């Protein structure tokens, strides 16, 4: 029986490439399935039919994409640099930049066993103590990431840290302008206030760019086994990662929200506790974290407004998109409140 080829991954061509580049790695027929839940790049679980060899393949989305937004070489480079460090990342196997193999660049990494927890409901079976351990482990892993010397792991030129926050703010302002088709009270006020209060960044580090609980794999022992989804990583201000983590650990107080935070799980540490633990273990000054958290609220408001905009144009597929637009004012309000009240 011939293998089922998921969209975007020709298993025969993949196998041929692996046999040429890594002879002996694969010993039996391959099968694969698309792993749901990725933001944009496609992720496949690939295994030998007898289950002995297991890998993960990442490639850009199908169709025309901006190369800079879906750069497989960057993702492969950052996990290759971090793999020898204390930061848990999957072991890279190979990078292929030849479009002729499966139709786009791709890379292969080891498969890591673990669970990405996306909601408070998914955390509930762990109970308070195990939930607390897992979330505090997330902070400790972030401290490990920000302790890596980029030069020492070959990532010294991985980004442009000078003017990082200013560029980020301008970038997300442009994203907002590209999806404006309704009045959004307060969003320009929030954007302008963030610009006026731009903090002075600490020494740059490797930043993940989307660091939260459902972008890591938690093992059966509640330890973090791998940090995933490095597509937004660069060199920049480490407190942007912390601000985003704080935002995702805050209570939205919205029942049935299509955007989930994990804060409602019993035992989940408070945002203040996460900030304190990060400050204590990293030695960094976190007194200005309200700016970074407000920026995270603004960024998510812009992302959600973009989704709402595409929904109004009939360009989204699936359920829940009809409620996204109602969330945007909530995120704007949280951003303004965080900035004003700290």
Structure tokens at 200: 């002075």
Edge-to-edge, what's the strand order for the sheet holding 54-59?
30-34, 42-48, 54-59, 106-110, 92-96
pLDDT per residue over 178-213, tens digit each?
A: 998 899 999 999 999 999 999 999 999 999 999 999
Q: How far apart are CA 179 and CA 4, in angstroms?
A: 38
Task: Check: pTM over 0.75? Answer yes or no.
Answer: yes
Q: How far apart are CA 104 and CA 246, in angstroms?
A: 36
Question: What pLDDT is attached to residue 55?
Answer: 96
**What's the number of domains the chain is made of?**
2
- Which residue in 231, 240, 229 sits closest to 167, CA to CA? 240
- Which residue in 200, 196, 140 sits closest to 165, CA to CA? 200
Confidence grade of residue 42 (pLDDT, cut at 50, 70, 90): confident
Whether the per-residue pLDDT at 68 is higher than 60: the answer is no
Greatest alpha-carbon span in the chain: 63
Q: How far apart are CA 132 and CA 127, in angstroms?
A: 9
Confidence grade of residue 317 (pLDDT, cut at 50, 70, 90): low
Statement to judge: residues 106 and 139 lie in one domain? no
Torsion of CA 266, 267, 271, 274, to 10 degrees: -150
Structure tokens at 234: 């660069």
Residue 133 lies inside a defined structural domain of this protein: yes
Question: What pLDDT is attached to residue 1?
Answer: 42
pLDDT per residue over 162-178, tens digit each?
A: 999 999 999 999 999 99
Statement to judge: residues 214 and 311 lie in one domain? yes
Any idea which of 46-50, 109-113, 239-243 has the lowest mean pLDDT?
A: 46-50
pLDDT per residue over 69-79, tens digit each?
A: 458 899 999 99
Question: What pLDDT is attached to residue 316?
Answer: 72
Residue where a domain stops, chosen among 68, 85, 110: 110
Residue 90 lies inside a defined structural domain of this protein: yes
Whether the per-residue pLDDT at 40 is higher than 70: the answer is no
For the chain, what is the mean pLDDT? 91
Range of the domain at 21: 11-110
Q: How far apart are CA 242 and CA 142, in angstroms?
A: 8
Question: What pLDDT is attached to residue 256?
Answer: 65
pLDDT per residue over 16-31, tens digit each?
A: 999 999 999 999 899 9
- Which residue in 111, 146, 120 sits closest to 279, CA to CA? 146
Q: How far apart are CA 170 and CA 289, in angstroms?
A: 20
Three-state DSSP state, 290? helix
Q: What is the DSSP letter of 202?
A: -
The strand pair at 42-48 and 224-227 is best described as unpaired
Residue 3 lies inside a defined structural domain of this protein: no
| CATH number reported for the structural domain that contains residue 251 in this entry | 3.90.1200.10
H/E stretch holding 83 reads: none
Statement to judge: residues 133 and 276 lie in one domain? yes
């Amino acid at each position: 029986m011939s293998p089922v080829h998921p969209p975007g991954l020709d298993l025969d061509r993949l196998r041929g490439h692996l046999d040429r580049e890594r002879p002996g790695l694969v010993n039996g027929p391959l099968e694969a399935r698309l792993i749901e839940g990725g933001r944009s790049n496609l992720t496949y679980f690939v295994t030998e039919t007898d289950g002995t060899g297991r890998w993960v393949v990442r490639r850009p989305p199908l169709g025309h994409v901006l190369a800079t937004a879906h750069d497989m070489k960057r993702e492969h480079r950052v996990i290759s640099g971090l793999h020898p460090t204390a930061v848990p990342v999957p072991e890279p196997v190979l990078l292929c930049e030849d479009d002729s193999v499966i139709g786009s660049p791709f890379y292969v990494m080891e498969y890591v066993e673990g669970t990405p927890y996306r909601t408070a409901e998914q955390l509930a079976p762990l109970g308070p103590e195990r939930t607390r351990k897992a979330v505090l482990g997330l902070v400790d892993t972030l401290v490990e990431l920000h302790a890596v010397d980029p030069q020492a792991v070959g990532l010294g030129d991985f980004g442009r840290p000078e003017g990082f926050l200013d560029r980020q703010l301008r970038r997300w302002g442009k994203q907002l302008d590209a999806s404006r088709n309704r009045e959004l009270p307060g969003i320009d006020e929030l954007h302008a206030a963030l610009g006026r209060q731009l903090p002075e960044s600490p020494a740059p580090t490797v930043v993940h760019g989307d660091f939260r609980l459902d972008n890591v794999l938690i093992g059966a022992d509640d330890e973090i086994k791998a940090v995933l989804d490095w597509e937004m990583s660069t060199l920049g201000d480490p407190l942007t990662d912390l601000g985003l983590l704080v935002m995702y650990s805050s209570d939205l107080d919205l029942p049935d929200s299509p955007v989930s935070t994990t804060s409602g799980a019993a035992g989940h540490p408070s945002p203040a506790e996460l900030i304190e633990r990060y400050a204590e273990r990293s030695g960094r000054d976190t007194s200005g974290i309200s700016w970074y958290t407000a920026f995270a609220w603004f960024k998510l408001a812009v992302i959600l407004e973009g989704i709402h905009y595409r929904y109004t144009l009939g360009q989204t597929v699936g359920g829940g998109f009809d409620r996204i637009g109602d969330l945007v004012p909530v995120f704007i309000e949280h951003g303004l409140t965080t900035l004003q009240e700290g």
